[in-house]
Amino acid sequence: MIFAQKIVILRAKFENSETMKLVFASNNAHKLDEVRKILADVEVLSLREVGFLQEIDETGKTLEENSRLKAETVWQWLLDHTLDTEVDGVFADDTGLEIAALNGAPGVYSARWAGEPSNDANNRAKALHELAGKENRDARFRTVITWIGHQVNVQVEGIVQGKMALEEHGTGGFGYDALFIPEGYADTFATLSAEEKNSISHRARALEALNKMLRQGK
């Protein structure tokens, strides 16, 4: 009942055109840019902007666990510093590339698949190496978002099916974008404009699922 009441309050905020203020549990410039373009009617603050400077150990074994871990850590920090009244909550995402021929790898380890420190070029090179000689190029990107606030704790996901390219193509995007060809397209994410990618991306779909939940009060 408390959860339902909170959702009603937040839905009213949307309907009255009041700006929601959410902390995104990330300092990743690429992610922040993508999220802010998708959530254009929400004020999205980075961890740095609220003063959260510590590293979060992503020890979860699944995307769901890591997403929740990050959101819970930042929300508790906001509570400890009495900053929770300044925002409508925290949301965190964890995204993984799941390649069918590799039994879903790299999955939760996508960002650091080639080792620490995380390096996009090395991760893409490892993907091509692991897929060498494999006919099945099916893959999917999956994003899990956890949103936590006062009496609110929800989790949604967004998925984009596609295939892995035989070689890198395109200069846009980040991560594995230059290798991933989304279903219905002839070329990789990295060849799409930011606007086009944001309209179909896994993160966009997860964010839209969250938006829909808030607006419908479900």
Annotated active-site residue 33? The verdict is: no
SS3 (DSSP) at 182:
strand
Q: Are residues 102 and 137 in contact, defined by beta-carbon separation less than 8 angstroms?
A: no
- CA–CA gap between residue 174 and residue 197 (Å, rounded): 12
Residues 6+ apart with CB under 8 A from 168: 124, 128, 178, 179, 188, 190
From the list 84, 88, 93, 94, the catalytic residue is 94
Tell me whether residue 8 is exposed, middle or buried, using C-beta atoms within 10 angstroms of its C-beta: 0 to 12, 13 to 18, 19 or more. exposed
Question: What are the catalytic residues?
Answer: 94
